[in-house]
Structure 1
Amino acid sequence: MPGINLIFKKEDVGFLSSTLKEKLLTSNWDSRYFSESYFETKSLFISGNRYEKYPIYIFENDDFLAVIEGFLYNEDAKSIEDELVKLHKIVIDNTKRQEAISKWLTSTDGDFIIVIRDKKTAVTYLLNDVFARLPLYYYLKNNCLIVSREQNRLTELADIKNIDMIGAAQFMMLGYTVGNRTLVEECNYFLPGSLLLVDENKGEVKLERNYVFNFESMVDYTTSYKKHVEQSVALFKKATSKRQYIKNIIGLSGGLDSRAVAAAFDFTRNCQAISRLSVNKKELKDVKLAKKIATKISLPFKVLNTEAFTGEMIYKLALQKMGLNSLENAFNFQYEEKLLQQENDFVYFTGDGGDRIKPHITFSKKLKNYEQLMDSIIEKNSVLPYKYIEDITGVTMDSVRKDIISFLQSFPEQSLEIKYIHFMIYESAFKSVFEGEDRKRFYFWTVTPFYATDFFIKSMSIPENYKKNYKFYKDFLIKMDKRVADIENAAWGFPISSFKLNLFLYSKNVAKMLPFQIKKYIQADVEKLKKTHHTNLLLFLSELINSEDFPNDFNNKGLSYFKDNISEMNTTVIYKIITPIIVSQLLQKKSNLNTRYANIEFI
C-alpha cells in the first residue's frame, strides 16, 4: 500500500539506519511505486512509498516540518499551509490541545494523516482524521515505534511471526477485529481521531485519543424534518463537488447509495459511471439498473468484464491488507487493474457510508446490561455458531465477550442501544468498510461524500423516527433527483418511492423474529449452499487441513469438523474462517497460494 511510514528508536541508532531504513526504501509493490525520505535524525525516520498521483504533500517553515498524506478537500495549497500553521499551534499547546484538536477535526473535511515535527522541541505529532479514513497501524515495544500504512511492511520490520488469536476469533465471528486489534499480534490499529507524540529528547512516545463521536448527544430535535432534508441534500452536493477532480468515475450499482452520488455530480467536470460484470454474471441485475440510472441522468456509462480470481490474487490481497479486507474480495483486483489500464488520472467515487441516513438497528426491548448488548451484537452480526470458531482457534466465547465488552464500556454514550449503533459505525463501517475502500488506493484515489465531516455529523443528528422505514432516505433521494429515486432498487425489486416499500419492510421485520435455523433458509439474498461452492475452494480447504504447513496457532481438527459441515455455510463465511489462517501462514512464510494455487481459479 502507498503511504507514510515513521520509525522511532531511542537506542541502537546503527540498526535504525542500516536495516529498518533500508527495508523502507527498497520494498515497493510494483514498477509504479517509488520511495521517498522526508526527514531523518539519529533516532527518527519519516518516509513514504507511493505512485506518481498518490497524494503526499510536504510543507516546511522556520517552526516545523509537515508531511500530509491525503487531502483536505476544497483547500488550495495556500489555505492548506494556513491550516497546517494553525494545527501546529494547536498540537504544541499542552494545556488546551485535546479540546482544540477536537474542534479542528470536526470542522475539517478530509481523508488524511498529518505528521508535524516541531523544530524547537524536537517533538513529532502524528494525527489522523476523525474517521480514520486512511487505515494506519503501529508497533510499540522495547523502545521501538514503527508506524505504517501497510501491515505487511510493519510485520517485517518488527519481525512479528504470531497471529492475534482473540483478533482471529473476532474476525471469524464478525468479519472484523474490534478496537485496536488486528489479526497480527502487537500490530495495533490506529484509532480514529488519535494523536501520537514522539519526544526525541526524552525518548518518550505517547498516544492520545482526541475525539470520539457521542451519538447520543448529536441528535437534533429542534430542526424541522423539511429542513433536515434540505440541509442534508445541500451538504451532500457540496461534499461531492469538493471531491471532484479532473476526471471523476462513479462505481455505479443498482443500489441506493451510488445513485445518490451520481445524482450529486457536477456533470460539467468530466464524469463517468462504470459497473463491473463478473464471469458468473452475479451483478447482471445491478448492471442493467446502473445503465438505466446513468441513461436517465445522461451520465456516460460502461461495463468492465472480469474473469474468475486466482490464488495469486488471494495471496496479493492477504499481503496488502493482512486479512482485514476479507479474502473473498480478491475478485475486485481484476476490476481495479482494468480500470487503471483504461483510464488515467481520475478520482473514484463510491457510495460507502449511505447507511448513515438509513434506519439504524432498533430494539423491541430495552437492553439491561452489557451482557445483553453483547448478545445482541452476536445475534445480529454473527452468521456462524461460535462452537466452530472455538474448535479452530481454542479461544473461548467468554474471552471474546470480555474483550469486546471492555471496549464497549469505553464508549461515551449512556444508552446501551446507542452504544450498539456506535459499535456498528466504528467497527463495521469505519474499520471493515474502510479497509475495503483502502484496497482500491493501491491503484487510485477513492472517495465517498457520505463521509464528509459536516454531512456525517448532520446525518447522525437526524432523529431515528425520521429515518424509520427509509422515509428520510426516500425524501433525500427525491430531493436530490426524483428520476433516480423512481428506478427500482436492486435489493428490493422496486423503487424507494414505491408504495410497496412499507409492506416489504414489514415482512422483513416479521422474518427477523424467526429462530436462526428457520431464518437462514428464507433469507432472500442468502448464498447458495454446498452445491455452488467452487471446487477449487474446497480442494484448497482440504489441502490446508492436511498440510504440514498448517499453522500451529490453529487446530486443523477443528477446521476439518467445519469443512464436514460446510453445507451449512455460505462462501463468505468460509473465507472469514480461512482468512486468519492464511495470514498466519504469511507471517511464517508458508503460504502456497502464490505457487501451488497461483493460477487456480476461485469464483
Structure 2
Amino acid sequence: YPTHCFQSDEFFIYIEGKIYEEDRGTLDEQLNQLAHTMFSGKEYPKQALKEWLLSTDGEFIIFMLHKPSRCIMIIDDVFSRLPLFIHQSDGKVMLSRDIRFILNQVEIIEFDRMSFAQYLLFSFPLGPRTLFKNVYRVQPASLIRIDLNSGAVHKEVVHTFNFDSKEHKSKSANENARQLARLFAESCRRRAKGASQVVLSLSGGLDSRATGAGLKYNNIPFAATSWLDPKKVSRLDVNTAQQVAQALGVEWTKFELDQAPGRDALKLLKIKSGAVFVGIPHLVQYFTGIKQKYGPDITYMSGNGGDRVGRDITPRWKAKNLDQLVNCTVTMGRFLPQAGTLPVDEIAALTEIPKSKIIDELKHHFAEYPEKQIDQKFVHYNLYGQSMKWHNHGDDRNRFFLWSTTPFWSVHFFRYIMNCPDSQKRNKRLYLKFLSILHRPTSEIAYADNRATQSEQIAKNKYLAWQWLMAAYKWPNPIRFLYRQSKKFLIKPSQPQYSCVHPPALIKCMKEQLHNCKAISENLSRRELERIIDNCSGYHSVFMALIFTLTSVIEDFKTGKSSIENYLDTKMDTYG
C-alpha cells in the first residue's frame, strides 16, 4: 500500500497514495519543493497551490510539518480520491482516513438525520456531510492549516470545478477524440508503472474495456477478471466481458460467487462504517479471490468514473429554475434507480424530517454550486455527488484488499473531457471515437448495458435522429398541447410495484436490531421501520440494504456490537 515519509531539518512530510508526475523528479524532490512553496512566507500562496493541484495527476493526501514554525498543512487531491474525515471539538482536531478511528475517540456519538434522508434518497449524503454529527468529509482540493502554537485550525477549499464553460466546443469531435485518446493512454501508462502486475476488473460495459484498451495501447501486460453473482443476474455482462478479453488478447478469469454470509456483510460494515452500503457483501469474495490468485502486491484497475465523465450527464428533462431542478432530481435523477423506489414522503416519515425541510436543504446545496446554467448544476451534482462521494468510497473499500485505481480520474484527462461540449458526448459518440482510436475491435463489441451493438456510426445516426426530434418537438402542435393538459388531470404518477423475496436472515436480523437497540428508534421512526419490515416484499432489495446499513451503523456505534454476529454463516446477500 503506497505510503511514504521523509524529513529534513526543516520539514517532516508524509504522503498516502500516489503522484504520477514522474517527469518532475523523485517523489521526495516534488514534495520538498511543494513544502518550500507552501511555507515560503507569512501568507501561504493559494494560487500556487491551486495551480499545483490542477497540474498534478495523482490520488493522495499530503501531511507537511514545518518544524521551525510548528505549523502543519494537510492537502488532498482535486477529486478527494482518498476519503479523509475531520472532527473538531473542545479545542481538539482529529483527522483520519478511517471515520471509525475518530468515532472511537468521541464521548457521545450522534447521528445526522438529514444525512440519513439524503442517504436513503441518493445512497450518499451530500457535500461534507457524513452519517455522523460533527464528523465531516474533507472536500476535494482542500487545505487544512494547523498552528500547534495557538491551536488555530483553518480549513479552505482551494479549487472547485465550474462546468459552465466548454473550452473545446469549437473543436471537432475527431480532434477532441484524438486528444482524449492520448491523455487517457498516458493516464493508464502512469498508473500501471511500477506495478508487479496489473489486474483489470472487466465488465460488459464501455468503461472497463476503455481501461483495457488504454493498457493494450501502451503494450502493458495485464490480466482481466469478472464476477458472476449467485443469482446469475450479471450473466450477460460476464459473457460480454469474456468477448472483450478475447479481443484484447489477455488472460481472463471468471469468479463465480456464492451468496455472501453475514460475516462478509459485517466486514463491509466495519471497514467503511456505512459509507458503502452492506448490500453487496459478495464483493468480499471477489477481492479475496483476486488476492489469492495474483497476490496482494498488484495494481487493481477499473473503469470507475467513465460512466460520469465520458457521457452527456446533463438532465434528460428541462428545468427552468432551481426549484424545478431539485424536484426533478428527487423524482427522476437518482443514481440507483432501485434506491429511488421510496417516495420523499416516506423518507420524511422514516427520518421524521418534514419533506419541505429535505427539499429546502437540497435547494440550498444546489444553490452553492458555482455554475449559473441549470443543467450544469446537475452535472456538478453528478460529479461531486455520486462520483467523488459514492464511487470514491467504493474504490476505498477495494483498497482494504488491493491498491485500487482508475485512469478516468487523471486530472489532465478530466479537465479536457469536461471541457468538451455535451453535444459531442451525447449517445456516447465522443466516447466511442476515442475508444476506437485506442483499440477499434473493443469499440465494436456490443456492450451489455444497451443489449445492442453501438458502433460509432450508429451513435452518430442516433444523435442526428435525436437532433431532428428535438427540432420537431418545438413545432406548434395542438394535439400535443391537449395531451399535456389532459395528462395533468387524467394520468397520476405511481410508484413502481415490487414483489421481492429478501433473505429471511436479513429481515430477522433487522427485527432483532430494532428490538435490541433503543437508539434505532431514537433516530428513525419505529412505526415506519416496522411497517417497512412487515411489508418488505414491496420494497426493492437495494432500498432494504440501505435501511439495513443505517440500522446496522446505529446499533454498531451505540451498543458496540452487531446483531449480524448472530448470522455469520447465514446467507445475507441482497444483490439482484
Q: Please confirm whether the aligned pair reaches a TM-score higher than 0.5, indicating the same fold.
A: yes
Structure 2 counterparts to residues 29-428 of structure 1, below 5 A: 54-75=1-22, 78-92=25-39, 93=41, 95=43, 97-244=45-192, 245-266=195-216, 268-344=219-295, 345-354=297-306, 355-368=308-321, 370-379=322-331, 380-381=333-334, 382-428=340-386
Residue type at the aligned position of 1:532:
V
SS at match of 1:265: helix
Residue number among 524, 544, 548 corresponding to 1:574 in the alignment? 544
Structure 2 counterparts to residues 516-555 of structure 1, below 5 A: 517=493, 520=496, 529-547=498-516, 549=518, 551=520, 552-555=522-525
- Provide the C-alpha distance between the structure 1 equivalents of 2:499 and 2:507, rounded to a whole number of angstroms: 10
- The Cα shift of 1:455 comes to 0.2
Alignment deviations for residues 217-249 of structure 1 (CA, whole Å, 9 cap, x no partner): 354223332210000000000000000022000
SS at match of 1:600: coil
What is the number of residues matched between the two proteins? Answer: 539
Moved more, 227-236 or 538-547: 538-547
> Given that residues 425 and 431 in structure 2 are in contact (C-alpha distance below 8 angstroms), is that contact kept between their aligned partners in structure 1?
yes
- The Cα shift of 1:361 comes to 2.3
Question: Hey, what does 2:479 align to over in structure 1?
Answer: none
- The Cα shift of 1:187 comes to 1.2
Structure 2 counterparts to residues 444-523 of structure 1, below 5 A: 444-497=402-455, 517=493, 520=496
SS at match of 1:461: coil
Residue type at the aligned position of 2:189:
S
- Provide the C-alpha distance between the structure 2 equivalents of 1:499 and 1:533, rounded to a whole number of angstroms: 43
> Given that residues 174 and 433 in structure 2 are in contact (C-alpha distance below 8 angstroms), is that contact kept between their aligned partners in structure 1?
no
- The Cα shift of 1:132 comes to 0.1
Residue type at the aligned position of 1:250:
L
Shift in CA distance, 362/533, structure 1 to aligned 2, threshold 3 Å: same
Shift in CA distance, 454/599, structure 1 to aligned 2, threshold 3 Å: same
- Provide the C-alpha distance between the structure 2 equivalents of 1:80 and 1:283, rounded to a whole number of angstroms: 41
Runs (5+) with no aligned partner, structure 2: 335-339, 474-483
- The Cα shift of 1:499 comes to 6.6
SS at match of 2:4: strand
- Provide the C-alpha distance between the structure 2 equivalents of 1:432 and 1:421, rounded to a whole number of angstroms: 15
Calculate percent identity across the aligned residue pairs.
25
> Normalized against structure 2, the TM-score is what?
0.88
Residue type at the aligned position of 1:239:
S
- Provide the C-alpha distance between the structure 2 equivalents of 1:592 and 1:153, rounded to a whole number of angstroms: 18
Shift in CA distance, 460/94, structure 1 to aligned 2, threshold 3 Å: farther
- Provide the C-alpha distance between the structure 2 equivalents of 1:471 and 1:377, rounded to a whole number of angstroms: 25
- Provide the C-alpha distance between the structure 2 equivalents of 1:487 and 1:256, rounded to a whole number of angstroms: 9
Residue type at the aligned position of 1:458:
Y
SS at match of 1:309: coil
SS at match of 1:191: coil
**Cα RMSD after superposing both structures:** 2.5
SS at match of 1:403: helix
Moved more, 285-294 or 406-415: 406-415
- The Cα shift of 1:519 comes to 8.0
> Normalized against structure 1, the TM-score is what?
0.84
- Provide the C-alpha distance between the structure 2 equivalents of 1:390 and 1:224, rounded to a whole number of angstroms: 47
- Provide the C-alpha distance between the structure 1 equivalents of 2:412 and 2:527, rounded to a whole number of angstroms: 51
- Provide the C-alpha distance between the structure 1 equivalents of 2:323 and 2:367, rounded to a whole number of angstroms: 11
- The Cα shift of 1:79 comes to 2.6
> Given that residues 195 and 207 in structure 1 are in contact (C-alpha distance below 8 angstroms), is that contact kept between their aligned partners in structure 2?
yes
- Provide the C-alpha distance between the structure 1 equivalents of 2:23 and 2:202, rounded to a whole number of angstroms: 29
> Given that residues 168 and 176 in structure 2 are in contact (C-alpha distance below 8 angstroms), is that contact kept between their aligned partners in structure 1?
no
- Provide the C-alpha distance between the structure 2 equivalents of 1:403 and 1:229, rounded to a whole number of angstroms: 39
- The Cα shift of 1:444 comes to 1.0
> Given that residues 519 and 554 in structure 2 are in contact (C-alpha distance below 8 angstroms), is that contact kept between their aligned partners in structure 1?
no
- The Cα shift of 1:107 comes to 0.1
- The Cα shift of 1:503 comes to 6.3
- Provide the C-alpha distance between the structure 2 equivalents of 1:130 and 1:578, rounded to a whole number of angstroms: 32
SS at match of 2:264: helix
- Provide the C-alpha distance between the structure 2 equivalents of 1:313 and 1:554, rounded to a whole number of angstroms: 25
> Given that residues 319 and 325 in structure 2 are in contact (C-alpha distance below 8 angstroms), is that contact kept between their aligned partners in structure 1?
no
- The Cα shift of 1:580 comes to 1.8
- The Cα shift of 1:531 comes to 4.0
SS at match of 2:559: coil
Alignment deviations for residues 426-480 of structure 1 (CA, whole Å, 9 cap, x no partner): 0111110110111010011011000000000011011011111221112122222
Question: Hey, what does 2:478 align to over in structure 1?
Answer: none
Question: Hey, what does 1:25 align to over in structure 2?
Answer: none
- Provide the C-alpha distance between the structure 2 equivalents of 1:449 and 1:544, rounded to a whole number of angstroms: 41
- Provide the C-alpha distance between the structure 2 equivalents of 1:94 and 1:431, rounded to a whole number of angstroms: 34
- The Cα shift of 1:377 comes to 2.0
> Given that residues 139 and 158 in structure 1 are in contact (C-alpha distance below 8 angstroms), is that contact kept between their aligned partners in structure 2?
no
- The Cα shift of 1:396 comes to 1.9
Shift in CA distance, 115/488, structure 1 to aligned 2, threshold 3 Å: same
- Provide the C-alpha distance between the structure 1 equivalents of 2:229 and 2:108, rounded to a whole number of angstroms: 37
> Given that residues 247 and 441 in structure 2 are in contact (C-alpha distance below 8 angstroms), is that contact kept between their aligned partners in structure 1?
yes
- The Cα shift of 1:541 comes to 3.2
Moved more, 403-412 or 568-577: 403-412
- The Cα shift of 1:175 comes to 0.6
Moved more, 265-274 or 121-130: 265-274
Moved more, 318-327 or 190-199: 318-327
- Provide the C-alpha distance between the structure 2 equivalents of 1:131 and 1:336, rounded to a whole number of angstroms: 24
SS at match of 1:124: strand
